[in-house]
Amino acid sequence: MSVIAANLQAVHRGIAAAAQQAGRAPEDVALLAVSKTVSPGIVREAFEAGQRAFGENYVQEGVEKIIALADLRSQIAWHFIGPLQSNKTRLVAEHFDWVHAIDRLRIAQRLSDQRPAGMAPLQVCLQVNISDEASKSGVAPDEVPELARAVAALPGLRLRGLMAIPEPATDPAAQRQPFAAMRTLLQSLRAAGLPLDTLSMGMSGDMDAAIAEGATIVRIGTAIFGVRT
């Protein structure tokens, strides 16, 4: 078995264990393989090991990879998970299936306008600044309901839920706190009538805590592909 295939298997085992611990079904937690800085050949290896969803942070790199792996295009869901500037929205709208880090209406409007007519709506999440760090991107929790309503109304997009990258913490209880706040925020949006089903949260270092608090997509790079250089 290749290293990548073995790593994927180990991550799946970790997801299953964390889900079971939380009384959740393992299949309710999807694995997004974060392939930033990883070559198309290695992504293909992960595909051959059964992985079907990949996350990219940089527009140019991501689009080049999608084109290099065009023969697999219909079988892969490509997620754009990085920060997005308005001059790059067109490439993302034309090539990706998901965008996780929407934090202002202007970007969402551009993505909706630029989504090609023949493609399914772009699946999107709002990035929430859940640890309230001045330097981090994401919308403040109290501004989420208004932005969610506006984004949900855009025809080229389908709002699926919320995404966060909390402040790093090593203690499991400290890791769970912002993820719990995300779960509560999603519940309040659902109670207000928005049909949301996605919490994109948890990376290699805090996956278990995110699953314990309801993550439906974990975004894992290092544990699959190794440490990025």
Ligand X SMILES: *Cc1c(COP(=O)(O)O)cnc(C)c1O
**Site for ligand X, rule CB under 6 A:** 34, 36, 57, 81, 165, 203-205, 219-223
Which CB sits closer to ligand X, 137 or 149? 137
Nearest CA among 5, 86, 79, 100 for reference residue 36? 79
Given the complex with ligand X, which of 122 and 207 has the nearer CB atom? 207
Task: Between 57 and 109, name the residue whose CB sits nearer to ligand X.
Answer: 57
Minimum distance of ligand X from residue 118's CB (angstroms):
29
- Least separation in angstroms between residue 228's CB and ligand X is 7
Residue 23 Ramachandran class (φ > 0 left, ψ -120 to 50 alpha, else beta): left
Report the b/e string of 79-95 with b at 16+ CB within 10 A: bbbbebeeebbbbbbeb
- Nearest approach in angstroms of CB 155 to ligand X is 27
Question: Least distance (Å) from ligand X to the CB of residue 117?
Answer: 29
d(CA 126, CA 9): 30
How near is the Cβ of 2 to ligand X at its closest, in Å? 19
Any idea how long the chain is? 229
- Taking the least distance from each CB to ligand X, the nearer of 104 and 149 is 104
Contacts of 42 (CB under 8 A, 6+ apart): 4, 35, 225
Of 71 and 171, the one with the shorter C-beta distance to ligand X is: 171
Token representation of residue 84: 């997005």
